[in-house]
Structure 1
Amino acid sequence: MRAVKRFMMVALIMGIMLTQIGCWDRIDIEKNAFILGLGLDLPEKADQNDDMVMVTYQIALPAAMLGQAGQGDGGGGGGGSSSTLNISIEA
């Protein structure tokens, strides 16, 4: 009886452990946004009475970085997609 109870307890613990591991809430790196830089500036066409600020974000694009990593070009600045995205808004 004691051995059965011990076996059931071990089976229960193993079952709980197996359901707690894994990638249930996994988010792919390509779906994340990584802020590399943040800038605050006065807008170019700001009035003296206006309290607006231009906010610029530089966001990394992981999918573009992965594509560039496999190219292996020795030098030279070629074309192609950039691995960052710059967004400016007035707030």
Structure 2
Amino acid sequence: MNYLVSDAGDHTLCAIEGELTFNHQDSFRDMLDDVVARSAPDVVLDLSRIEFIDSSGMGMLLLAQERADETGKTVRVRGVHGQVQKMVELASLNEVLDIQ
């Protein structure tokens, strides 16, 4: 997993690429620490370059929502496609997360 966090006006953009799996938990948590330290009230997780996600990766998306709630931020997820979309739908994450 590689990521780039940037300020984009009224939101913080997290562009994530590669895989989002159990092996990437520490990197994902580092990214979240960076995000919550920023002043923008909204966070956009761009998953358009994610090729694979496992159950741990889906848990990380829920963790992002939890951290956002704790800090008064909102999270939107965009760019869900392919295997990632199938997993999100299978786990009904689209009912819990704001997926665009």
TM-score, normalised to structure 1's length? 0.20
TM-score, normalised to structure 2's length? 0.19
Structure (1 or 2) with the greater helix fraction: 2
Which of the two has higher C-alpha Rg? 1
